[in-house]
């Protein structure tokens, strides 16, 4: 299944990119789960981390890492309830209004698990992108402007 959505946000591309480098902001529209494993070295192409959600694990690896322009991840779920689910998420950022705003295009592709339930997945993605936009705008004034920076 492949889905895409686009929204504009009142946040500069550099801050949007930093927001997207926070692991909890990538999975299921900001679900909270502790990082239980991560790669060594600086955050960038090939970096990975594992988030824990009870018995479910999400291994997320950066497959594109172009600051202020593009970020993509591969997500593979494992553990009880994973149902063989895997996906890719690509975030393409376009500068608007001289750099004070950003257009965010999200392209998601996936297979397995509940992804077979197309109408439910599409509705869930629309809700997830609305939540992501709202959190992004609310959080923007608190973000440390370095990739991987904390609020």
Q: What is the pLDDT of residues 64-107, one digit of tens each?
A: 999 999 999 998 989 887 788 888 999 999 999 999 999 999 99
pLDDT value at position 121?
A: 56
pLDDT at residue 151 greater than cutoff 50: no
% of the chain at pLDDT higher than 90: 37
What is the CA angle 69-27-122, rounded to 5?
90
> Number of folded domains in the chain?
1
Identify whether 11 is part of a domain: yes
Phi, psi of 81 (to 5 degrees): 90, 0
* Local structure of 36: helix, strand or coil: strand
pLDDT value at position 29?
A: 40
Phi, psi of 41 (to 5 degrees): 90, 180
Question: HSE-up of 32 (CA within 13 Å, CB side)?
Answer: 0
Looking up tokens 């997945």 gives 121
Q: What region, left, alpha or beta, does residue 120 occupy, with left being phi > 0 and alpha being psi -120 to 50 degrees? A: alpha
Identify whether 147 is part of a domain: no
Identify whether 148 is part of a domain: no
Identify whether 150 is part of a domain: no
CATH number for position 34: 3.30.530.20
Expressed as residue numbers, the domain containing 124 is 2-142
pLDDT band for position 22 (50/70/90)? confident
pLDDT value at position 109?
A: 87
Q: What pTM, to 2 d.p., does this model score?
A: 0.79
- Could you list the beta-strand ranges (E) of the chain: 2-9, 35-38, 48-53, 56-66, 70-79, 86-96, 101-111
128 and 29 Cβ atoms separated by less than 8 Å? yes
Q: How far is CA 59 from the centre of its chain?
A: 12
pLDDT at residue 10 greater than cutoff 80: yes
pLDDT at residue 114 greater than cutoff 70: no
Identify whether 73 is part of a domain: yes
pLDDT value at position 30?
A: 41
Identify whether 128 is part of a domain: yes
pLDDT band for position 108 (50/70/90)? confident
pLDDT band for position 129 (50/70/90)? confident
């Amino acid at each position: 299944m492949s889905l895409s959505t686009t929204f504009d946000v009142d946040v500069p591309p550099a801050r949007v990119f930093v927001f997207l480098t926070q692991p909890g902001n990538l999975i299921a529209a900001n679900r909270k789960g502790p990082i239980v494993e991560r790669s060594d070295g600086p955050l960038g192409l090939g970096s990975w981390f594992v988030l824990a959600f009870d018995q479910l694990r999400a291994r997320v690896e950066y497959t594109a890492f172009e600051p202020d322009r593009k970020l993509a991840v591969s997500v593979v779920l494992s553990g009880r309830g994973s149902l063989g689910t895997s996906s890719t998420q690509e975030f393409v950022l376009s500068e608007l209004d001289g750099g004070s705003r950003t257009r965010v295009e999200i392209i998601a592709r996936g297979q397995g698990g509940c992804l077979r339930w197309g109408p439910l997945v599409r509705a869930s993605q629309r809700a997830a992108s609305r939540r992501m936009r709202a959190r992004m705008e609310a959080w923007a004034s608190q973000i440390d402007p370095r990739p991987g920076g904390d609020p």
